[in-house]
Amino acid sequence: MKNALKYINIIVLILIAFIAFEYNIPQKVVKKLFVEKKSTDTNCNYTLQDFDFHYKSECDTPTIIMLGNSLIRGGEWTSLLKRSDLINRGIVGDRIGCICERLKYLDNKNAKIWFIEGGINDLPGEDIDSIFNRFKTIVEYARNKKAIPVINLIVYISPKAGDKYPARMLYKQINKSIKQVNKMLVKYATENKIDYIDLNSVVSKNDLLQDEYTTDGVHLKPKGYQKWTELINAILIKNKI
């Protein structure tokens, strides 16, 4: 009798699991807990006053501004680019709307070229049109300062991103949105003769960030930064900077 109940329980659990995945219940739970809450949060998740690098300068007359989130922050750009005339303005976890808010802190930085990155922390909760329009806001801000804007297309994530970041269990949905935003950015850049960098062309395959280039499915290993640096240097050479 006990064995029969045991087998019945196993069968019931299998059926529940099958139904759950058939109707995407795990994904819906994740979306309810992490995505919907995020999409309604219009406040930046940090206090600008906490980041004193907005009030000091690693370089008095920067030629290059690296602007973005943790992907930018994690780059040892002085070493990678072998030059010191740059400033790193990446903030871990930053969303592209928050990057727009802190453009005013760069108003007195008359750099020749801006490398602009962002968007991954807005997904999957943010509308792709909103992400695209905020990219344009940053690009136009740089252009109004007579600087050369360079758009870094959003890098795909890998399945293991969900191991550390629950909302990124929806990596397929996120990468689908990334693909859409990137397509819009390429069209915009092409029509307006703006340089862009497609890091996915060397670190991703089949719309997935490859494990050899990432630490956790989102952030880059040194090998990934080296590939990025090669693309950045090509832009710098093209613009004789």
Shared-domain flag, residues 212 and 166:
yes
Shared-domain flag, residues 119 and 18:
no
Burial pattern 203-218, b for ≥16 Cβ within 10 A else e, equals: bbeeebbbeebbeebb
Distance between CA atoms of residues 88 and 67, nearest Å: 7
Q: Return the half-sphere exposure (C-beta side, CA atoms, 13 A cut-off) of residue 150.
A: 22
Shared-domain flag, residues 30 and 52:
no
Domain count along the chain: 2
User: Which residues constitute the domain of residue 33?
Assistant: 1-38
Q: Return the half-sphere exposure (C-beta side, CA atoms, 13 A cut-off) of residue 156.
A: 24
Shared-domain flag, residues 21 and 128:
no
Shared-domain flag, residues 121 and 14:
no
Shared-domain flag, residues 13 and 52:
no
117 has a pLDDT exceeding 70: yes
Question: Do residues 184 and 132 make contact, with C-beta atoms less than 8 angstroms apart?
Answer: yes
Q: Return the half-sphere exposure (C-beta side, CA atoms, 13 A cut-off) of residue 155.
A: 29
Shared-domain flag, residues 184 and 101:
yes
Strands 148-152 and 113-116 come out as parallel
Mean pLDDT of the chain: 85
12 has a pLDDT exceeding 70: no
Mean of pLDDT values over 164-170: 87
Shared-domain flag, residues 193 and 231:
yes
Q: Which of 120, 122, 111, 98 is nearest to 66 (CA)?
A: 111
Give me the pLDDT at residue 4, please: 60
Shared-domain flag, residues 33 and 67:
no
What CATH number corresponds to the domain at position 88? 3.40.50.1110
Give me the pLDDT at residue 105, please: 86
Question: In which region does residue 193 sit, left (phi positive, over 0), alpha (psi from -120 to 50) or beta (all else)?
Answer: left
Shared-domain flag, residues 118 and 213:
yes
pLDDT band at 28 (very low <50, low <70, confident <90, very high): very low
SS (H, E, C) 129-171: HHHHHHHHHHHHHHHHCCCEEEEECCCCCCCCHHHHCHHHHHH
Shared-domain flag, residues 105 and 34:
no
Question: Do residues 137 and 131 make contact, with C-beta atoms less than 8 angstroms apart?
Answer: no
57 has a pLDDT exceeding 70: no
Distance between CA atoms of residues 123 and 171, nearest Å: 10
31 has a pLDDT exceeding 60: no
Mean of pLDDT values over 137-165: 96
Shared-domain flag, residues 55 and 23:
no
